[in-house]
Chain A
Amino acid sequence: MSKGQKAGAFDVRNVIAELIGLYGVVLVVVGLLDDSAEVMEKTGGVNANLWAGIGMLVVAAAFALWSRLRPTVVQPPARDEEGTGRDG
């Protein structure tokens, strides 16, 4: 079995981690800067941006970790041997 190339930046898990991670960072910053009464009235007293942002950072980290631990190996085209169904 030939050793394929890692999908790296094009692994969809990394793309998910980057976008959701970016959203997480932005939301945490917004949550820390803006906890005005107006915002609190909307959310019923919870700093929604902060908590949602933290949640997204956790999800992003999980995806990054998953793709780091189980990298996707791109099989060279025109082959079909066993051991393909591997996750990722």
Chain B
Amino acid sequence: MDDQLKLDASFVDYALVAAYFAVVLLIGVAARRRVSDSLDFFLSGRSLPAWVTGLAFISANLGAVEIVGMSANGAQYGMATMHYFWIGAIPAMLFLGVVMMPFYYGSKVRSVPEFMRRRFGTGAHLVNALSFAVAQVLIAGINLYLLATIVNALLGWPLWVSLIVAAAVVLSYITLGGLSAAIYNEVLQFFVIVAALLPLTLIGLHRVGGVGGLVDKVTASGGEEQLSSWPATELSGFENPVWSAIGIVFGLGFVLSFGYWTTNFVEVQRAMATNSMSAARSTPIIGAFPKMFIPFIVVIPGLIATVLVPEVIEAKANADADFDYNNAILLLIRDVLPNGLLGVALAGLLAAFMAGMAANISSFNTVFSYDLWQQYVKKDRPDGYYLKVGRWATVGATVAAIGTALIAAGYSNLMDYLQTLFGFFNAPLFATFILGMFWKRMTPTAGWAGLVSGTAAAVTVFVLVETGVLDLPGQGGAFVAAGAAFVVDIVVSVVVSRVTAPKPVSELAGLVYSETPREVRTDPDAHRLPWYRSPVPLAGVALALVVVLNIIFR
């Protein structure tokens, strides 16, 4: 990282950052000691209101990758980045709430690997648990790298020192706070991030002369196509606008995002903490409303940076391929926010990155100790034994994340890297999941064979793109890899199912749609809720809003 990024933080800024962490620590300590009955409110499993879990749902995802990565995309590709939210998140979140959540909440399956084990047996379970564990360590590395970038910018420490210190802080944060306070912290963090990014966007707009000024300046710098979100040829890397739109809708909108939002158990877990089936279904749907407006305070700052921050203007003008767009939002913060607001921004960013990494590490820890170690290495030990294994897994994962952080540091646009990962792991997972949920004939062998061949297809496409055999700049390679993974998984699963023996139907109750009794997947009290608290009408409103947003900002 260059010296130019050094932010001039003052005493006030450090104090605001310290205040945030003090509050987080207090929540953690209070959660540990269970000092009063009221604490059971946030510890007891199914008692949280849907607006809290809904905010936690999007906040768990509003980490470093989203803020830094999406503003980087905003600087590089402009308004087309909106697709990551309006096409790449909202439909999948609504689908999760309307179609899949009854199934999760009703069948009490708590993790994706656990579902895989019950639906397909140990083959698919092992593949899924292993790939999930690897993905979590890789993504934790990205979060750690971005966290270290901030520490580096703030204190000027070399990157490797920042990496180690940041990793140590996250480790103690997990140990102290524990999982129980996570949802609380996420809701709090959401508000701090908005408190930081909203002023950043407004002041940035003011500096460039309002919305009109931004449009004029971007047009004047030759970036006219950055102002429209469709057909996003620059983002997808397809020259033909029709193929570009198809790539966005199918690759990003369908395979990547459905794979991510509907099978990611860090997210699904948030909805499981609610008090009723309707609240569980509403969780992702309520989350969809703030989610569709988040790009305005994440992507727009990236766009503002392209006409306000000298370094970004220069990189754009010279088409500098080496420029690190991940710095765009940090550079804008440096140029625009005065001391005071700077501290709020730093607190928000640090919180987001730590929470993101902590979520990755804790979910790795769960899968490693219960889905892998207990299932395949040492069975039938007392609970305390697995807790100890979990602790060592946390330490091991944190150390491994330092290694993956160094990989992440080598990529100029982090989203390229992440999209690739999603293609490898999530797309085939979604294919297997959806097929296994609705087609009772699908066999255990097809379960793991589909996952393996789908992932292999994604890797093959990735290698072809990397070696230049397929020429797809931008994010197109990731879209194609995800699409290939999805199609190959479905084809292989269907073919293998035809020649292998299915599970007896009696073992599929609660796991396959047609074999699940209606009362298990519906809420008996649903008809008593007003429309704004019942999931399906709410989802309809969200969908209509997102269509309107797409038309306004096309």
Residues of A with Cβ closer than 8 Å to B? 5-12, 15-16, 18-20, 22-23, 26-27, 30-31, 34, 39, 42-44, 46, 48-49, 51-53, 55-56, 59, 72, 74-75, 77, 82, 84-88
Q: How many B residues touch the partner, as a band?
A: 35 or more
Within 8 A of A (CB), among B6-48: 12, 15-16, 19-20, 23, 27, 30, 36-42, 44, 47
* Alpha-carbon distance A20/B194, docked complex (angstroms): 11
Query: A49 touching B27 by the CB < 8 A rule?
Result: no
A21 CB to nearest B CB, Å = 11
Query: B51 touching A87 by the CB < 8 A rule?
Result: yes
Contact of B38 among A7, A34, A39, A88 (CB under 8 A): A7
* Alpha-carbon distance A82/B276, docked complex (angstroms): 10
Residues of B with Cβ closer than 8 Å to A? 12, 15-16, 19-20, 23, 27, 30, 36-42, 44, 47, 49-52, 184, 187-188, 191-192, 195, 199, 203, 206-207, 275-276, 278-279, 335-341, 344, 525, 529, 533
Contact of B339 among A9, A30, A44, A85 (CB under 8 A): A30
Residues of B within 8 A of A18 (CB): 23
* Alpha-carbon distance A18/B184, docked complex (angstroms): 14
Q: List 24 A-B contacts (CB under 8 A).
A: A8-B38, A10-B39, A10-B41, A10-B42, A12-B184, A12-B188, A18-B23, A19-B188, A20-B192, A23-B16, A30-B12, A42-B335, A42-B338, A43-B206, A43-B336, A49-B338, A51-B199, A52-B195, A53-B340, A55-B199, A74-B40, A85-B49, A85-B278, A88-B49
Query: B340 touching A31 by the CB < 8 A rule?
Result: yes
Counting residue pairs across A and B whose Cβ atoms lie within 8 Å, the total is: 118
Query: B41 touching A74 by the CB < 8 A rule?
Result: yes
A5 CB to nearest B CB, Å = 5
Residues of B within 8 A of A43 (CB): 203, 206-207, 336, 338
Residues of B within 8 A of A44 (CB): 203, 206-207
Residues of B within 8 A of A23 (CB): 16, 19, 192, 195, 344
Q: Which of chain A's residues has its CB closest to B523's CB?
A: A85
* Alpha-carbon distance A23/B22, docked complex (angstroms): 13
A36 CB to nearest B CB, Å = 9
Query: B40 touching A19 by the CB < 8 A rule?
Result: no
Query: A30 touching B340 by the CB < 8 A rule?
Result: yes
Query: B188 touching A15 by the CB < 8 A rule?
Result: yes
Contact of B206 among A10, A26, A46 (CB under 8 A): A46
* Alpha-carbon distance A49/B188, docked complex (angstroms): 20
Residues of A within 8 A of B203 (CB): 42-44, 46, 48
Q: Which of chain A's residues has its CB closest to B525's CB?
A: A82
Query: A16 touching B188 by the CB < 8 A rule?
Result: yes
Residues of B within 8 A of A82 (CB): 525
Residues of B within 8 A of A7 (CB): 38, 41
Residues of A within 8 A of B52 (CB): 12
Residues of A within 8 A of B41 (CB): 7, 10-11, 72, 74
